[in-house]
Amino acid sequence: MRSLKNTGRHSHSSGNSEVMNNPWTFSAHVTSEYNSAMQDFTELAYTINPKHKDSTEVLIKGDASDLEKMQTKITNCSPYTAYPLLKNIVNWIMAGSDVNVHALQEVRNKIIRYIVGKSTT
C-alpha cells in the first residue's frame, strides 16, 4: 500500500479530499497487478526487509484499515449493479440523459476520424 500513498498516511488530514482519495484507493488493485506482472516478466522478486518502514505495526494496521474501508465502499457502491442509470459513487450525482457512454466505440471512432490527418501544431 505504500506505493499508493504520498507522504505518510494517505488521509483527509494530509489535505486530500474524498475526490482525490478515491482514484488512489481504487487503483490499489491495478497497481498491485502491474507490480506482480513486472516481477513475473523480469523474473525478479522483491522482498521486504524486516526493518523496512512499511512493516511497522502501525502501518500494517493502517493498511488493514484502508483495505476495510475500500471493501466497505465497493460493497455499498458496487459499480456492477443492474441499475440502468449512471451514478457517481463519490458524490451520488446522477448522469443526465445526454451521457453517451453506451456509445463509447462510436464516439471514439468519430473522434479518431476527425483528428486523422490534422496537424498537431
Which H or E run includes 108?
Answer: helix 104-115
Q: Which three cell numbers stand for residue 26?
A: 481504487
Q: Rounded to an integer, what distance in angstroms lies between the CA atom of residue 30 and that of residue 67?
A: 14
Domain boundaries, the chain: 2-91
Q: What is the pLDDT of residue 8?
A: 46
Span 20-57, pLDDT tens digits: 666 666 677 667 777 778 888 888 777 666 555 556 67
pTM here?
Answer: 0.29
* pLDDT in the model for residue 93: 80
> What's the pLDDT tens digit per position in 66-119?
888 888 877 777 666 666 677 777 777 887 777 777 788 888 889 899 989 888
